[in-house]
Structure 1
Amino acid sequence: MDYLVLLYYCYTPIENPEQFREEHHRLCLGLNLLGRIIVAAEGLNGTVSGRRADCEEYMRLIKADPRFAALEFKVEEAPAHTFQKLHVRVKSEIVHVGLPHIKPYERTGIHLEPQEFRAMKDQDDVVVLDVRSDYEHSLGRFKNAVTLDIENFREFPEKVQELEQYRGKKILTYCTGGIKCEKASAFLLEQGFEDVYQLHGGIIKYGLEAGGEDFDGKCYVFDGRVAVDVNSVNPTIISQCHHCHTPSDRMVNCANPHCNAHVPLCEACAEQLDGACSATCQQHPDKRPYDGTGTYPKLSNHYNPEQGLLSYRAPSGIKN
């Protein structure tokens, strides 16, 4: 395949995030990369797609910066770009959880490589903890994993009290690419949990290096692919169509932008409901046209470091 998808993060101090964002944005434009990149004083987080040669040059340049020497790229092939635009933004955290005081580059859970995680996950004194949102783990998760009922990662700190029953056990955290586990495991340590680990590189690396064994369903990803296969050893489907409840791992966003729910919807029901998650959403006057994909990329504000911000006003009531 001619294109690559790069998933990466690195917790490391960045003294001037705004200046770094400008420089990094220009670099990505020069290499014709598309995707989402977050810059913060605590580090860098991104998912981008591009032609193979451009992605390889991007990886070379990033790794040449001493601040990102430890950064590890998860690399997957793709037939084309998996994004439609480029966003490089400065935020307070590279993954929002509301714990800016926690610095994973100072203290976090013990990193387990995929093969180590596979060897430990079924031991009697181990609890495997999914730190992702409910729409993610409803599509796919490790066998017997503990999941939390959260709509967004920022709710994770409030749910830690539900884990009190697991004190004294080894807690193995996992997420899509590893970034959420950095803060989740560090927060667990701060709360007095002692044996805390994390799957290094997350589900994506586990699929690439360990065949995804015992990961049931598909992995939700934040690009145009929406859901990807990771298990080549013993795959299965665990999610059901939101409407008819038949097995389905076809993930969509509801065509009603005021709902925008992430739900599995089989092709037949998607056609019947015109991309909506329910008959009510189907009748909403602001419903977006359904093109068969069930994805609706956010409109760009067209920011370009060479030209500044070109204004865009979203339709009333719709967040951009």
Structure 2
Amino acid sequence: MASSSYAVISYPSPFSRPKCSTATINNFITPPIQEVSTFKNKTKLITFPAFGSDKFSWNYGQSSKLSAFSARNGNWVDVEAGSPKEYKDDEFMVVNFYRFVFIENPEEEVSRHLSFMQIDEKVATLFYCHLEKKFQNGNGRDIHGRIYLNEQGINAQYSGPSKDALAYVEWVKADQRFLDILVQITPALNGHAFPKLKLRYKPSLVQLEEGISHLPLLDPSMRATPLTPSQWRSKIKAVNKTENASSAVDTNCILLDVRNGTIYPSVNPCFLHPSTRFNVSRSLGYEWDVGHFQGAQRPDVDCFRSTSFGLSESEASPPSIILLILPYISLVVASDPLANVDKEKTDILMYCTGGIRCDVYSTILRQKGFKRLYTLKGGVSHYLENEGSDGWVGNLFVFDGRLSLPPSTYKPEINGAEEQVSHSFAKCYICASQVSELRHRNCANLDCNLLFLCCVKCVNDFRGCCCINCTSAPRLRPLLIGHQRYQKWHKYRDVELQI
């Protein structure tokens, strides 16, 4: 039986500017916590080195109230403690964490991680496709996913049975450099959420057009100030209240979605010329379309690597651009939401799925002169776990086999009626009717493979395709029912489709 226990420090809001000095008010980097004790029994003391996460491990007792003592200023900070969460050893889970920290020899670090996984380095380098068979034979830890390391740190998303998944977390956290990582755990739903394990050196922990190796990611002062979920909730409530009262956008605060949200073109992409189809429409807003924060502006970005908000050298706000795809087809591209804003006085509130994209992009904005940058600590997933769906509409898109998760996955107390109300914004890609389930599917035409939302009627009428043209494509995969995902093409090419 594996367990995961936690405690959450309640931070004061940086916007309230209280007079008293606290452990985190100045820079949100928590000083060394020397003592943690229950209110009922002050004799149990636990020593922790410095950490910057709003979660930290603890193993002593199951009290619902804790307090943390800061040696730097002698203050006690209220702590909310959670009872240990028990997992069956064979219960599959998805684990996410990242950390920006200097790694002197990342190739050697990769070797250490492979060794812990009980994977031969040569096999891992040359034959990743055989690792699943290796696990099934009882050799190695049963972990699938993406674990990347380089000189700037680690970025990990993986699935596995709790025995192996949590063992890897504890092994990583035993290293002083990763002691305080914020680890996020969600149920895998149906076995592994990733097809295989990729554990290797990668030049960029996240993908941007110009790469990220030149960015000052190791300097916390160059990244945005992290807000805890409760602080974020208070801030966006204040922003939305102001907007509703004035019926205008609050020019002193911008809620920025650092994900993808490209608007669908005026016609289905299968009617476009082949040379433009995939460039324009392959990844059409699948993150935004399945869920987003109320009050956030829809980002006109088809993937994070092409994000360019706030990067224009011109101070004048650029007009909306009309992209002519064909003589009779046009796509309106929204202007940059950060263009022409006061970089000294405007609060930029940034959010993404797990937090890493915001940390990366905030360093770029900092270099461009933006002063008041804030990120949602741990991303939307951490927010839903702690605050529920308040202020959030829809599901959360995740980059694994589950595709999207309802808020109740993160916070089971959320009732079904509350989630159903938040589905009303989601429309079918084909007929624009409201969809009954916030879950994307890939077009059955392998050469299209568009990720899109679709109503039940259109799924059946178009046999899992995104348009009538795709239904007669040469490499057509079968209609999948429920939450199944397509496998490699060779699984279908010799099978006669029943039409």
Q: TM-score range by the shorter chain?
A: 0.7 to 0.9
Alignment of 1:115-194 (within 5 A): 115-121=230-236, 122-123=238-239, 124=242, 125-134=252-261, 135-157=286-308, 160-161=311-312, 162=336, 163-167=338-342, 168-194=345-371
Cα pair distance change 1:39/1:296, threshold 3 Å: farther
Q: What is the aligned counterpart of 1:242 among 426, 429, 432?
A: 429
- Residue number in structure 1 paired with 2:174: 64
Q: What is the aligned counterpart of 2:486 among 292, 296, 301?
A: 296
User: Which structure ranks higher in relative contact order (CA pairs < 8 Å, sequence separation ≥ 6)?
Assistant: 1
Shift of 1:56: 1.8
Please tell me whether Structure 1 or Structure 2 has the larger radius of gyration of its CA atoms. Answer: 2
Asked if the contact 1:251/1:265 (under 8 Å) is kept, the reply is: yes
Would you say how many aligned residue pairs link Structure 1 and Structure 2?
Answer: 299
- Residue number in structure 2 paired with 1:31: 141
Cα pair distance change 1:240/1:32, threshold 3 Å: same
Cα pair distance change 1:290/1:181, threshold 3 Å: same
Shift of 1:221: 0.3
Deviations 1:149-205 (A, max 9, x none): 111111113664421244332111000000100011111111111100000000100
- Residue number in structure 2 paired with 1:287: 476
Asked if the contact 1:254/1:294 (under 8 Å) is kept, the reply is: no
1:216 has 2:393 as partner: yes
Structure 2: how far apart are the matches of 1:202 and 1:265? 27
Structure 2: how far apart are the matches of 1:198 and 1:164? 19
Alignment of 1:217-232 (within 5 A): 217-230=394-407, 232=414
Shift of 1:143: 0.3
- Residue number in structure 2 paired with 1:51: 161
Asked if the contact 2:310/2:365 (under 8 Å) is kept, the reply is: no
- Residue number in structure 1 paired with 2:374: 197
Deviations 1:94-115 (A, max 9, x none): 1111232113220200000100
SS at match of 1:61: helix
- Residue number in structure 1 paired with 2:204: 93
Structure 1: how far apart are the matches of 2:459 and 2:440? 10
Shift of 1:9: 1.1
Cα pair distance change 1:10/1:42, threshold 3 Å: same
Structure 1: how far apart are the matches of 2:486 and 2:155? 22
TM-score (structure 2 length as normaliser): 0.56
Gaps of 5+ in 2: 1-86, 120-139, 243-251, 262-285, 313-335, 409-413, 490-499
Cα pair distance change 1:20/1:266, threshold 3 Å: farther
Structure 2: how far apart are the matches of 1:69 and 1:213? 31
Shift of 1:82: 1.9
Alignment of 1:76-87 (within 5 A): 76-79=186-189, 80-87=191-198
Shift of 1:298: 6.5
Structure 2: how far apart are the matches of 1:286 and 1:294? 19
1:261 has 2:450 as partner: yes
Cα pair distance change 1:85/1:108, threshold 3 Å: same
Shift of 1:47: 1.2
Q: Which runs of 4+ in 1 moved over 4 A?
A: none
Structure 2: how far apart are the matches of 1:25 and 1:290? 38
Identity %: 31
Structure 1: how far apart are the matches of 2:116 and 2:449? 33
SS at match of 2:185: strand
Structure 1: how far apart are the matches of 2:308 and 2:406? 29
Cα pair distance change 1:254/1:41, threshold 3 Å: farther
TM-score (structure 1 length as normaliser): 0.86
| 1:156 partner amino acid | T
Asked if the contact 2:148/2:205 (under 8 Å) is kept, the reply is: yes
Cα pair distance change 1:99/1:185, threshold 3 Å: same
Structure 2: how far apart are the matches of 1:138 and 1:36? 25
| 2:259 partner amino acid | R
Structure 2: how far apart are the matches of 1:112 and 1:32? 34
Cα pair distance change 1:37/1:267, threshold 3 Å: farther
Cα pair distance change 1:207/1:218, threshold 3 Å: same
Deviations 1:75-103 (A, max 9, x none): 11234322232122332111111232113
SS at match of 1:138: helix
- Residue number in structure 2 paired with 1:314: none
Shift of 1:257: 2.8
Shift of 1:272: 2.5
Shift of 1:146: 1.8
Asked if the contact 2:97/2:182 (under 8 Å) is kept, the reply is: yes
| 1:188 partner amino acid | L
